[in-house]
Amino acid sequence: MNCKHTPHILLIIAALLALAACSPLPTPQATSPQRLILATTTSTENSGLLAHILPDFEAKFNAEVDVVAVGTGQAMKIASAGDADVILVHARAQEDNFVADGHGTARADVMYNDFVIIGPDSDPAGIRGLSDAAAAFARIAAAQAPFISRGDESGTHVKEKEVWAKADIEPAGDWYISAGQGMGAVLTMANEQLAYTLSDRGTYLARTAQGIELPILVEGDSILFNPYGVIPVNPDKHAGVNFELASRFVEWLTSLETQEMIAGFGVEQFGQPLFVPDSDAWRQAKGLGPR
């Protein structure tokens, strides 16, 4: 190198470095998360299930899930107005009607648990140990023992009315209290008033960790079976819904990996899962065959 030119080269390099410092290279911008509106039941929220599984979906799909937790009937009304992208609910006849009316594209099985009748340990209606839910309701009505109803057209309320109908009773009177509240609030009311109520098992178990002391008195009747389904909202009927992300949500929720997460939820704390996986992928993997 010609040494007499070295100072000039050094000056040029210094100038270039100074220019680079003044004009840093642009950094790539992170993609904003997509938004998914999930209309679902208070049971999936109150039980803690959604808080357990949704972070996995949000991380994998760069998404934020806005959960609207209401009764099943209200969740379907919200979706029928095009104000949700996907629903996760538990009232099978209503779910089938939702799809038949064109509001949803298709229903997929997700999981199930069951309903239980709980009440005061003193059991003034004498229902403890019965295997017939309608007979238990008949005894509660005959005794006019306090009963707290959801009264909100939720999946639980729909099931409760089904049991009353089987008992051929239309409940009325001061003993029958229609709360118009979610499952968690109704459990609290029943606990405080030493009343009977119908609850999904998942929310009941979760709330026992928060002070609910009422025991399960009746369980095991086939009428108390409680399946959950997921349905994307139909973009042909409701423009503006995020159907692509809703479809990915359904695929994720029914996948074997997520079903395993559902299977493990609650086992460590309660010795049993709060929900039992039931998707096609799960049933196939476990050799259960189609439902």
- Express each pLDDT in 192-235 by its tens digit: 999 999 999 999 999 998 999 999 999 999 999 999 999 999 99
Name the DSSP class of 288: -
At position 71, the amino acid (one-letter code) is: G
pLDDT confidence tier of residue 134, bands split at 50, 70 and 90: very high
Residue at a domain's end among 175, 200, 224: 224
Please name the helix (run of DSSP H) or strand (run of DSSP E) that holds residue 283, with its range, or none. Answer: helix 280-285
Give the pLDDT confidence score for residue 10 in this predicted structure.
Answer: 46
Please indicate, yes or no, if residue 29 is contained in any of the structural domains: no
Long-range contacts from 165-172, C-beta under 8 angstroms, 24+ separation:
166/133, 166/134, 166/223, 167/134, 167/135, 167/137, 167/138, 167/141, 169/137, 169/138, 169/141, 171/137, 171/141, 171/147
Specify whether 220 is located in the same domain as 236: no
Distance CA 266, CA 240 (A): 36
Cα 193–197–203 angle (5° rounding)?
105
Please indicate, yes or no, if residue 156 is contained in any of the structural domains: yes
pLDDT confidence tier of residue 1, bands split at 50, 70 and 90: very low
Domain that holds residue 198: 114-224
| Arithmetic mean of pLDDT over the chain | 91
Give the pLDDT confidence score for residue 8 in this predicted structure.
Answer: 53
Specify whether 108 is located in the same domain as 243: yes
Specify whether 65 is located in the same domain as 128: no
Specify whether 166 is located in the same domain as 248: no
- Give the pairing of strands 86-89 and 108-118: unpaired
pLDDT confidence tier of residue 21, bands split at 50, 70 and 90: low
Q: What SS3 class is residue 94? A: helix
Domain count within the chain = 2
